Amino acid sequence: MYENIAAISTANGTGGVAIIRISGKNSLNTALKMFKPAANVKRIMPNYMYSGNIIGDGFEDYGFMVYFKAPRSFTGEDIVEFHCHGGVRIARGILKKVLSSGARAAERGEFTRRAFLNGKLSLASAEGMADMINAESLALVRAGSMMYFEKLTAQVRELQDGLKDVLARSAVEIDYPEEDSDGVDFAEISKKIKSLQQSVSALIKTYIGGKKLKSGVTVAICGKPNAGKSSLLNALLGYDKAIVSSQAGTTRDIVEGEIEINGVKYILTDTAGIREQAGEIESIGIERAKNAIVSADVVLSVTDGSGEADIPREFSGKKFTVFNKCDKVKPSGCYDVAVSAKTGAGIEELKEKLAQTGAVEYASDKVFIIEERHYDALSRAAEFLKSAADNIGSYTLDLITVDLKEAWSALGEITGETANEEIISTVFAKFCVGK
């Protein structure tokens, strides 16, 4: 166990309750120096809430104290929490008192770092927790929680176990080559390595969707002036964000808004109407619109019957033609969905279509790779496995085991087993103070 650390664990703002957390071997002694229980208490029991006066720096507050005894606590050490009234000045005043009573200020993510070092969670689980905390969409909360609940770690450990198995078989042959010379079945080892390669590449593939879950699926709404792009953006958002006007050239810059469809975040951009003979300011808007379209995952090409706008050739995503103003004009020609941005008809169908674009093959019970760090480690593991698979016929087994061990070690960076100090520090530096 380490020295006491303390921090305000709730967000920096005014709220009903604020929590000040202390972790370390003397946390209870420190806490008791500044707590007056309301009732006569002989002994502080773990996991019970005690009401009483919390002594802050220059004031007292009435609140609660709870003690979690090591190792049954978040960090695996003795933890004490003060639950006080949620005023910024109150929480800071109590923290100040804690720091002068026997603790030092915790660094970013230091509580979770201790939890990791004490074996309470894997590194991937800690990252999943941070992803959950920072998530802006339900899908990201779920993807983060899959990691937090060690689902990714379990898959990675299974791969590592598979590697260990191959390594053990190879070791027998390396150590006792003279015994039973056909004891090692190279075809069998090769088959196992190939199967591991497939599992690793299946995980790697989830990063395409995982990245989208994190950043959001980008949807550019484009079309000729007055087709109803701004109206469609507003209809999809459910509130008026973009200015709607019958005067062509009204949207001169990109207007963005976010919606969640089936839990996934979509970033919608209303692009300036692409037309010839535009003024200087509008031309800049059109240039930006083109860039937004090219980098978008999906383009909604809006038409009201007067034709579609040209989509830059560089666009390689999915395009949907949306026939707008179906309350006024009978849809005709080629289109994917007919809507009326004015009445809302067809808008839900359009949302369903967006969810089916395949930009994210989202399933709530699926493990997604959402951290670039994990993607890098898996990619390295894949390279070592490929090298082992390629060389199995031509090199000696001990050379192949070098690759297999490297693959094992790369996978271990995800769970934290083989993560060095630099990796660990980088992970926890992204956390907030108090977590």
Q: DSSP string covering 194-259, please?
A: HHHHHHHHHHHHHHHHHHHHHH-EEEEEEESTTSSHHHHHHHHHTS--S---SSTT---S-EEEEE
- Per rule CB under 6 A, count of chain residues that contact ligand GDP: 21
Residue matched to tokens 């070592």: 384
For the bound state, the minimum distance from the C-beta of residue 237 to ligand GDP, rounded and expressed in Å, comes to 13
Alpha-carbon distance of 311 to 294, in angstroms, equals: 8
Task: Determine, following the binding rule CB under 6 A, whether residue 227 of this chain makes contact with ligand GDP.
Answer: yes
Q: Which of 263, 251, 244 is nearest to 220 (CA)?
A: 251
Task: Determine, following the binding rule CB under 6 A, whether residue 231 of this chain makes contact with ligand GDP.
Answer: yes
Q: DSSP string covering 108-141, please?
A: BTHHHHHHHHTTSS-HHHHHHHHHHHH--SHHHH
3-state helix, strand, coil in the chain (%, to 5): 45, 15, 40
Binders of ligand GDP in range 337-366 (CB under 6 A): 340-342
Sequence-distant (≥ 6) Cβ neighbours of residue 350 within 8 angstroms: 236, 300, 320, 322, 337, 339
Residue 204 or residue 284: which is nearer to ligand GDP going by CB? 284
Task: Determine, following the binding rule CB under 6 A, whether residue 252 of this chain makes contact with ligand GDP.
Answer: no
| Out of 14, 47, 215, 245, the residue judged to bind ligand GDP by CB under 6 A | 245
Residue 9 or residue 231: which is nearer to ligand GDP going by CB? 231
Stretch in the footprint of ligand GDP (CB under 6 A) among 30-38, 78-86, 220-228, 260-268: 220-228
Alpha-carbon distance of 142 to 364, in angstroms, equals: 6
For the bound state, the minimum distance from the C-beta of residue 284 to ligand GDP, rounded and expressed in Å, comes to 17
Task: Determine, following the binding rule CB under 6 A, whether residue 244 of this chain makes contact with ligand GDP.
Answer: yes
Stretch in the footprint of ligand GDP (CB under 6 A) among 69-77, 133-141, 149-157, 239-247: 239-247
Residue 233 or residue 259: which is nearer to ligand GDP going by CB? 233
- Considering Cα of 286, then 292, then 295, then 297, what sign does the dihedral take? negative
Task: Determine, following the binding rule CB under 6 A, whether residue 223 of this chain makes contact with ligand GDP.
Answer: yes
Residue 204 or residue 267: which is nearer to ligand GDP going by CB? 267
Binders of ligand GDP in range 149-188 (CB under 6 A): none
Q: Which of 202, 114, 188 is nearest to 158 (CA)?
A: 202
CA atoms within 13 A on the CB side of 352: 8
Task: Determine, following the binding rule CB under 6 A, whether residue 226 of this chain makes contact with ligand GDP.
Answer: yes
Task: Determine, following the binding rule CB under 6 A, whether residue 327 of this chain makes contact with ligand GDP.
Answer: yes
CB 389 within 8 Å of CB 194: yes
For the bound state, the minimum distance from the C-beta of residue 349 to ligand GDP, rounded and expressed in Å, comes to 14
For the bound state, the minimum distance from the C-beta of residue 298 to ligand GDP, rounded and expressed in Å, comes to 17
Site string (371-390) toward ligand GDP, x via CB under 6 A: --------------------
Task: Determine, following the binding rule CB under 6 A, whether residue 301 of this chain makes contact with ligand GDP.
Answer: no
CB 412 within 8 Å of CB 418: yes
CA atoms within 13 A on the CB side of 76: 13
Binders of ligand GDP in range 256-275 (CB under 6 A): 273
Q: Which of 306, 244, 304 is nearest to 270 (CA)?
A: 244
Alpha-carbon distance of 355 to 109, in angstroms, equals: 35
Residue matched to tokens 């808004």: 257
Q: Which of 367, 65, 373, 364 is nearest to 199 (CA)?
A: 367
Task: Determine, following the binding rule CB under 6 A, whether residue 251 of this chain makes contact with ligand GDP.
Answer: yes
Residue 167 or residue 221: which is nearer to ligand GDP going by CB? 221
Task: Determine, following the binding rule CB under 6 A, whether residue 324 of this chain makes contact with ligand GDP.
Answer: yes
| Out of 63, 225, 257, 416, the residue judged to bind ligand GDP by CB under 6 A | 225
Neighbours of 183 (CB within 10 A): 11
Residue 242 or residue 424: which is nearer to ligand GDP going by CB? 242
Residue 138 or residue 248: which is nearer to ligand GDP going by CB? 248
Q: Which residues bind ligand GDP (CB under 6 A)?
A: 223, 225-231, 244-246, 250-251, 273, 324-325, 327-328, 340-342
